[in-house]
Amino acid sequence: MMSKSERKVDMFWKFTRFEMDLLLRNRKSWFIAVFLLFFFILFFMYYSQEEPIPLTDQKRTETNTSYAVFEHLDLLRHDIPEVAEVYNYHTQIQSLLGMQLWFIGNGNDSEQYIENGLEINQLRLKVHELGNAGIPDHLIVPKEEILKEDALLHYIQDHDLPIESDSFATNHYFTNVLTMLSGLLFLVIVLISGNEMLLYEKSHQSVMRGFPLSFMSKVISKVMIQFFHIIAFLLVGFVIGSIYVTKKFNAGDFSFPILIYQNEDYIAVSTGQYLLYMFLGLALATLLLLFLSILLNMLFKNAFANILIGLGIFILPDIAMAAGFKATFLHPIKFIDVNKVLSGELATELGNSSIDYWNAMAYLGIITILVFATIYAINKFNYHRVPKDLPLERAF
C-alpha cells in the first residue's frame, strides 16, 4: 500500500509518461527533433568546404597591413611627437611580425613565435594608450582583438600546444555553428516547441481536466518533457555533427583553446569547457523559455501569440536601443543568446562590459525563478478569485 506522498509522486510520473506519449505522437515534436538532428551535420558539411585561412597567410596579411600603417606614420612623425612615439613602437611590432613569419616557416620555433606574439600585443596596447596617434581608423587593431590574441597565446604557451593544428579548424566550426544556432534561431525552436504546452489541453478539455493533480505538478511535468526532448536532440545532433567534422579533419582534440569573455577580459578555455558552458547556458535558456511559454499560454491562450510575443520580447532591447534608450534593465532578455554572451559580443553590442557568462547565467536563473513564481501566483489568484457578476470558468 502506497503512502499519500508516494501516491502523489507515482501519479506525477504516470502523468509525465502520458505527456511523453503525446509528445512522441506529435508531428511538431518530430519536425523539431529532425531539425536539431540534422542542423549540425548539414552545417558542418556545407561550411567545411571552406577551410580556415592558414596561419602563415594570416600573418602575411597582418604584416602587409602593418606596412600600410608605416606609410601613414612616416608622413606625420616629424611634426607630431606622439606619432613619433607610436612610430617607434610600430617599428618594433613590424620587426616582431617578420620574426613570427620566420618562426612558423623555416625557423620552426613555436615557443619563440608565441614570445614574439605576446610582445607584439604589449606594444599594441601601448599604442592604444597613446591614442593610436597617426594611425587611420580602419588600420587600428581593436583592443578586444589584442586581448583575445593575448589570451589565446598564453593558453597555447601554458598548455604546450602546437601553434597550428587542425583542431583549431574544428574549434572554428564549433563556434560558428553555435553562433548560428544560439539566439534568435534557438528562441524560435523553443517557442514553437512549447507554444501549446497548456493550450493543447483546451482541445481535449473534458478528457484532461479534473485529474487529481495540482496545476504546478502538471506544469513541471510538461516543462520537464519538453526540456529533455529539446536538449536530448540538441546534444545528439551536435555529437553526430562533431563526429563528422572531427573525422573529416582528423582532429578532435578538445583541449584546444576557445576564447570567452569573463570579468571584463578575454580568457581562453579548452574546447571541452567551452562546449560545457555553451550547453549549460542553452539548457538554462531552454528552461526559462519553456516556463515563459507556459506563462504566455496562461495569459494569451493562443499558440501564435506565444511565438510572436516571445520574439517581441527578445527584440525589445534592440528596439529600445534604436529609439535611443539604453534601457539596461532590458539587457537580461538578450542573455539567452549564450554564444554572444560567451564571446563578449553582447557586452560590446550593448555597451555593458559587466555582461559575462556567470553574470548572465545568474540573471537567467533569477528570471526563470521569477517566471515560475508568476505562474504559481496567477494560479493561486485564479483559484481564490470570487465570482461577482459572472461565474468563473477555469481555463486549465
Partner 1 sequence: MLKLENISVKYKDKVVLDNLSFEANSGEIIGLVAPNGTGKTTLFNVISNFLKPNKGRVTFNENLQYKTERKEISIHKQLATFPDQGDLFEELTGVDHMKLYANMWKGSTKHVKDIYEQLQMESYVKKKVKTYSLGMRQRLCFAMIAAADTPIMLMDEVMNGLDIANVSLISKHLMKMKQDGKLIFVASHLLANLDLYADRVLYLKAGDIVHQQSLNESTEEYIKLELTLEQYEKMKYTLPDDHLYIAERLCCIPIANMDMETQKEWVERLSDYKEKELTIGPLGTPEYYEKYFHEK
Contacting range for partner 1; rule: CB under 8 A; set: 88-96, 186-194, 207-215, 348-356: 207-215
Decide: is 28 part of the binding site for partner 1 (CB under 8 A): no
C-alpha cell at 281: 547556458
Task: Output the 3-class SS for 148-163.
Answer: HHHHHHHHHHHCCCCC
Decide: is 7 part of the binding site for partner 1 (CB under 8 A): yes
Which of residues 126 and 202 has its CB atom nearest to partner 1 in the complex? 202
Decide: is 378 part of the binding site for partner 1 (CB under 8 A): no
Are 222 and 293 contacting, i.e. CB atoms less than 8 angstroms apart?
A: no
Using CB under 8 A as the binding criterion, the count of chain residues that bind partner 1 stands at: 36
Decide: is 379 part of the binding site for partner 1 (CB under 8 A): yes
Among candidate residues 280, 255, 281, 259, the one with its CA nearest the CA of residue 270: 255
Q: What is the DSSP string of 293-307?
A: HHHHHHHH--HHHHH
For the chain, the residue count is 396
Decide: is 1 part of the binding site for partner 1 (CB under 8 A): no
Are 348 and 144 contacting, i.e. CB atoms less than 8 angstroms apart?
A: yes
Decide: is 5 part of the binding site for partner 1 (CB under 8 A): no
Q: Look at the alpha carbons of 177, 180, 185, 187 in this order and tell me if their dihedral is positive or negative.
A: positive
Among 5, 79, 138, 210, binds partner 1 (CB under 8 A): 210
Which of residues 323 and 390 has its CB atom nearest to partner 1 in the complex? 390
Among 159, 209, 247, 326, binds partner 1 (CB under 8 A): 209
Provide, rounded to whole angstroms, the least separation between the CB of residue 30 and partner 1. Answer: 12
Alpha carbon distances (Å) from 252 to 152, 243, 258: 18, 8, 14
| Cα 379 from chain centre | 33
Among 203, 250, 304, 324, binds partner 1 (CB under 8 A): 203
- Considering only residues 74-103, where is the footprint of partner 1 by CB under 8 A? none
Contacting range for partner 1; rule: CB under 8 A; set: 65-73, 90-98, 357-365, 378-386: 378-386
Contacting range for partner 1; rule: CB under 8 A; set: 67-75, 103-111, 203-211, 309-317: 203-211
Among 71, 160, 381, 391, binds partner 1 (CB under 8 A): 391
Decide: is 324 part of the binding site for partner 1 (CB under 8 A): no
Decide: is 10 part of the binding site for partner 1 (CB under 8 A): yes
Looking up cell 600603417, which residue turns up?
69
Among candidate residues 118, 120, 119, 100, the one with its CA nearest the CA of residue 164: 100
Task: Output the 3-class SS for 328-368.
Answer: HHHHHHHHHCHHHHHHCHHHHHHCCCCCCHHHHHHHHHHHH
Decide: is 35 part of the binding site for partner 1 (CB under 8 A): no
Q: What is the DSSP string of 242-308?
A: HHHHHHHHT---TTSEEEEEETTEEEEEEHHHHHHHHHHHHHHHHHHHHHHHHHHHHHH--HHHHHH
Provide, rounded to whole angstroms, the least separation between the CB of residue 306 and partner 1. Answer: 21
Decide: is 18 part of the binding site for partner 1 (CB under 8 A): yes
Provide, rounded to whole angstroms, the least separation between the CB of residue 386 and partner 1. Answer: 8
Decide: is 370 part of the binding site for partner 1 (CB under 8 A): no
Provide, rounded to whole angstroms, the least separation between the CB of residue 212 and partner 1. Answer: 4
Provide, rounded to whole angstroms, the least separation between the CB of residue 3 and partner 1. Answer: 12
- The binding site for partner 1 (CB under 8 A) comprises 2, 7, 10-11, 14-15, 18, 21-22, 25, 203-215, 379-380, 383, 385-394
